[in-house]
Amino acid sequence: MIQQTGYSKKVMEHFMNPRNVGVIDDPDGYGKVGNPVCGDLMEIFIKVGDEKIEDIKFRTFGCGAAIATSSMITEMARGKSLEEAMRITRNDVADALDGLPPQKMHCSNLAADALHAAINDYLSKKQKH
């Protein structure tokens, strides 16, 4: 892994022009995670059809890296099957952004965790029906 001190162009692009920002009313799945140390808070909302993520939105309170990773994970997960989306790892998010500075890696952890939480929420609601 490349030791990085600044942000890549991709991180800056997703921070300055984040994709899929917002809330889905009545989502099929909802995930919320936070990091009490840095104060970042991330929410992901998903709509599922045919066991695929048809729509995905996020709301993030945090640093530029947290916003960029939230934006990137929504791009990575859209259109994927739930199984494929569950396989997106923390490192996948960082790699897709051409890396993150070591002190910001926890931000990519939040993005993957929020996505997985939203999928697990959907699956647990589905089991109850």
CATH number reported for the structural domain that contains residue 85 in this entry: 3.90.1010.10
Cα 18 to chain centroid distance, Å, stands at 12
Q: Could you read off the pLDDT of 118-127 as tens digits, one per residue? A: 999 999 998 8
Mean pLDDT, residues 43-63: 96
Annotated binding site for [2Fe-2S] cluster: 35, 38, 40, 63, 104, 107
Residues known to be catalytic? 38, 107
What DSSP character marks residue 123?
A: H
What is the overall mean pLDDT for the chain? 92
* Residue 51 resides in a domain: yes
Residue 110, pLDDT > 80, answer: yes
CA dist 122 and 127 (Å) reads: 9
Number of domains the chain contains: 1
Least confident segment among 47-51, 92-96, 99-103: 99-103
Check: CB of residue 10 under 8 Å from CB of residue 100.
no
The whole-number pLDDT of residue 37 equals 79
- SS3 string, 22-65, reads CCCCCCCEEEEEECCCCCCEEEEEEEEECCEEEEEEEEEECCHH
Q: How confident is the model at residue 5 (pLDDT cuts 50, 70, 90)?
A: low
* Residue 31 resides in a domain: yes
* Residue 34 resides in a domain: yes
Question: Whole domain around residue 29: which residue ranges?
Answer: 9-122
Distances (CA, A) of 30 to 40, 41, 110, 128, 129: 17, 14, 14, 16, 17
* Residue 87 resides in a domain: yes
* Residue 18 resides in a domain: yes
* Residue 2 resides in a domain: no
* Residue 83 resides in a domain: yes
CA dist 33 and 43 (Å) reads: 7
Annotated binding site: 35, 38, 40, 63, 104, 107
CA dist 103 and 124 (Å) reads: 34
Q: What is the pTM of this model?
A: 0.92
* Residue 129 resides in a domain: no
